[in-house]
Structure 1
């Protein structure tokens, strides 16, 4: 993919341990200079959660959202104005896309606020959402973002491309996670954080960094900008949530149209609220 600067992302949620809630990452406690003790791996979703997520992506509602998303990508490729796209009746076009969920649900891990603040025993990342590949009849590919809702799991958004799945597959003996503020993808191997893309290499170097060094790095970057901080209270872009990314006034090229659920997608004849999401800087390596 082409390299592009980052822009503010929409507010995101992390996967809750129980159904019924989608949790935002909150400010943790602790010192950034906590002892360099073994850091646990993030809590993985259960097999039952993964199965429910895959089912949600392949449900009628999940396929409908994917179909509309693929049509919106076509509209954007034709440079159709967003307001015009939102008014268009795309029901038949979305159905013709005949999207299918492909493969298993995969947990997507994102930088943890507790790790940023140095909370003892915290893992560097936590589950932000579950991702399922979606493919249209004409070959378009996207990732369905699935999260727990009050009555089970549901697709709450779509993202163009399959970076989440590609980077996760490179976890090898550890696990992969993203620092979305700078669009970096890493894998954790033992006590080291290793880069998976160009943004990560610029962050921690070609050979990566120790967990302790990485903790100090992200503490310096984000600890004073988390929800509840003076940065947030000053209304500077609403604060920073590790799962969503820092806000930026820089221009950016949108990478995808995220058609969200739970109030983001509008009901009616083809109407939808479209949120622009930034293009990832680099593809999987």
Structure 2
């Protein structure tokens, strides 16, 4: 089951990218070898790769959903110059192997780590990561977990239409296991640093609807013939919170950067 099948266009149009501060942080923590290699896991429409183009030369973007790779191709190819080399790969993160001798200096997992078999992925990654390479796991709060009044109102509409159990495509969202930091510390990349990067966004109601349709818990097909009613209910719920049509969001990315410990640090 791919919880993101059929929503790639919404994802590209309505999912926020990463802020410049987060891109700069990832540039700072990664080795500076040239050509500089980036591997983006669960690339979606290529939002993270796009933000990191100023910092990396040789880029791999991997996703398990073909529609996402189509959107990534459309977003990224026009932004490339002759200094860049981009390869898109349809693969599960746990199964991906780069070409012989290609070692990433930075591996990014933005909003995707929950969906992976995390120990298996990290074991596979340890086989081909550059010796000083860094894996970065980061996500902001989704509308499901955010806590502002207008976001709670939008989430309640989703619950009213789809039930109390959080959906994940045609299945249900699995309970989280150990914290991401625990998982990383138990892997080869046991030297972990945590950083918070704040972000403020403005939304209009149609953008909120587009965002909802980009998620696994409110994908368009889940509403069937009640989709028009759902859109009207979201609009009615959010209109009282909008200031001249604008909804403000204060959010933050939790960023975990992990690398192999040096010889004197041990495990």
TM, length-normalised to structure 1: 0.23
**Which structure shows the bigger proportion of residues in helix conformation?**
2
TM, length-normalised to structure 2: 0.24
**Higher relative contact order structure (alpha carbons within 8 Å, sequence separation ≥ 6):** 1
